[in-house]
Amino acid sequence: MRISEIEPGTKVKLKTRKGNFACRILESPSKEIILIKLNSGYNIGIKEEDILDLKVVKEKDDSSFRPSQFLDAVSCSSPVPLPSAQKGKKNNEIASLSQEKPNIALVVTGGTISSRLDVKTGGVKWLTKTDELLKFYPEILEIANVAKIEVPFMKASENMDAKDWGKISEVVVKLLNDSSISGVIVTHGTDFLHYTASALAFSLGKLNKPVVLTYSQRSSDRASSDANLNLICSARVAVSDIAEVVLVGHANSDDDFCYALPATKVRKMHTSRRDTFRPINSKPTAKVFSDKIEMIATYNVRDNKKKIKIKNKFSDKVALVKFYPGQSPDILDFYLKKGYKGLVIEVSGLGHLISEGKNSWIPKLKKLTKKMNVCASAQTIYGRLHPLVYSAGRELEKTEIIFLKDMLSETGFVKLSWILGDKEMRKEVKGNMLKNFAQEFNECLGEEEFLN
């Protein structure tokens, strides 16, 4: 029997040039190497050419190697009630809700927080059942009943696009308009989470109930996963009076409290830290502990009776361009030729692009703004654009480019996509881009709104 024909998980006895092993075959990342699990728990690789003899011990020893048991064990012995898991109910209908606890809904979209270790491959894969998340993090159920779980799709956030924002909005608005639901938690990959946060803030408008986006930076197989506190605090916000779109996650490296961060003023600032999301040009909305919330900013108060209407069309003909030293403006021709309708350029300093010499952007931009909506955001991330301070900025202003003040580039990109996606709003792009829809502008930048 050829090794490659043996199903992962099969128990075998191997005779090899490197010794004999009683082991299990695992899925190998490489063709030439057979990955095996020894009885000691260690995995090692054997080169196929080193194998002298192989005997299958018992086909599919499922008593101790069913990957799904990784999850089953949790549901069988978890000390807190797991209504969804225990009764074997199907997705979306969850039995035995507690009368005392408010109901919340969960929208699962992918990301590390919805992935788990796949024992066969040793890689990380999506949760296959929607309520699995609760089996990993049962503590959330001490705060609220998770009455509904929706899964519009499962994606790593770098694979999401403008259509996906529309889809998530659609799912969320249904839940917000459901009188049995107190609030909604959206779990999401971290990379582009802040884009989705902005998209929801714009498309949902003034809210009736809390919409909380959350994530994890450390996978669920670790006892140290940050998802635990993030979900507990998210549930705390979802049942609170804060009727806003907020992003909830670790405030610092401690497992102590989270920040609720305003959806349009937040950015992923670190590749790996659990407190990666930071408020930019803004304060956090609130400090969230597992058992209490301390407000920092004013907020829109819950109004359960209100029904929400969404504007969830986003144009995919918008691009985000980062300006770099010596860059030729020729790149603009590309976007025009490809039929783009909007452009956000991350400009330097207070609002500058090359304004002299052969690479000057000014002449091209003057023509371009007649055909396309072009905005400028600050590549410094923090601070506000002030194009009138230097002549380069004054030159740029003459091109009719729209300066986005203190708005984040990412938020500007999403907003432009939203405005261009809406038939009415796109008639007045400049006016709408500069209108404060969802706290994307902060008129009064304070001392504490830098590097926090």
18 forms part of the interface with other proteins (CB under 8 A):
yes
134 and 185 in contact (C-beta within 8 Å)? no
Tell me how many residues contact other proteins (CB under 8 A).
53
> Residues 5, 42, 88, 370: which binds other proteins (CB under 8 A)?
42
255 forms part of the interface with other proteins (CB under 8 A):
yes
99 forms part of the interface with other proteins (CB under 8 A):
no
93 forms part of the interface with other proteins (CB under 8 A):
no
Of 279, 281, 226, give the one whose Cα is nearest residue 257: 226
Sign of CA dihedral 253, 259, 265, 268: positive
> Residues 44, 296, 297, 445: which binds other proteins (CB under 8 A)?
44
Nearest approach, Cβ of 176 to other proteins (angstroms)? 30
124-183 residues near other proteins, rule: CB under 8 A? 124, 136-137, 139
How far apart CA 122 and CA 112 sit, in angstroms, is 15
Nearest approach, Cβ of 79 to other proteins (angstroms)? 5
390 forms part of the interface with other proteins (CB under 8 A):
no
How far apart CA 119 and CA 66 sit, in angstroms, is 9
How far apart CA 305 and CA 117 sit, in angstroms, is 42
How far apart CA 332 and CA 361 sit, in angstroms, is 9
219-248 residues near other proteins, rule: CB under 8 A? 219-225, 228-229
47 forms part of the interface with other proteins (CB under 8 A):
yes
26 or 212: CB nearest other proteins: 26
Backbone angles phi, psi at 199, to 5 degrees: -60, -40
78 and 135 in contact (C-beta within 8 Å)? yes
Could you tell me which stretch among 82-90, 272-280, 330-338, 345-353 binds other proteins (CB under 8 A)? 272-280
Burial annotation 31-48 (CB, 10 A radius, 16+ → b, else e): eeebbbbeeeeeeeebeb
130 or 220: CB nearest other proteins: 220
Of 191, 185, 237, 184, give the one whose Cα is nearest residue 217: 191
Q: What Cα–Cα distance (Å) separates residue 176 from each residue in 94, 184, 199, 347?
A: 18, 7, 16, 38
291 forms part of the interface with other proteins (CB under 8 A):
no
3-state secondary structure of 68: coil
How far apart CA 378 and CA 370 sit, in angstroms, is 22
How far apart CA 56 and CA 42 sit, in angstroms, is 20
8 forms part of the interface with other proteins (CB under 8 A):
no
Angle CA(241)–CA(225)–CA(167) in degrees, nearest 5? 55
142 or 400: CB nearest other proteins: 142
> Count of CB atoms within 10 A of residue 12's CB?
21
255 or 397: CB nearest other proteins: 255
How far apart CA 123 and CA 238 sit, in angstroms, is 32
141 or 354: CB nearest other proteins: 141
Could you tell me which stretch among 43-51, 159-167, 320-328, 352-360 binds other proteins (CB under 8 A)? 43-51
Could you tell me which stretch among 190-198, 200-208, 268-276, 396-404 binds other proteins (CB under 8 A)? 268-276
How far apart CA 407 and CA 409 sit, in angstroms, is 6
Nearest approach, Cβ of 290 to other proteins (angstroms)? 10
Catalytic residues: 112, 190-191, 268
Nearest approach, Cβ of 38 to other proteins (angstroms)? 8
73 or 388: CB nearest other proteins: 73
Q: Tell me the per-residue interface mask from 48 to 87 with other proteins, x by CB under 8 A, - otherwise.
A: ----------------xxx--xxxxxx--xxx--------
Residue 191 corresponds to which tokens in the numbers above?
A: 């990379």
46 or 286: CB nearest other proteins: 46
31 forms part of the interface with other proteins (CB under 8 A):
no
Q: Which residues bind other proteins (CB under 8 A)?
A: 18-19, 29-30, 33, 35, 38, 40-47, 64-66, 69-74, 77-79, 117, 119, 122-124, 136-137, 139, 218-225, 228-229, 253-256, 271-274
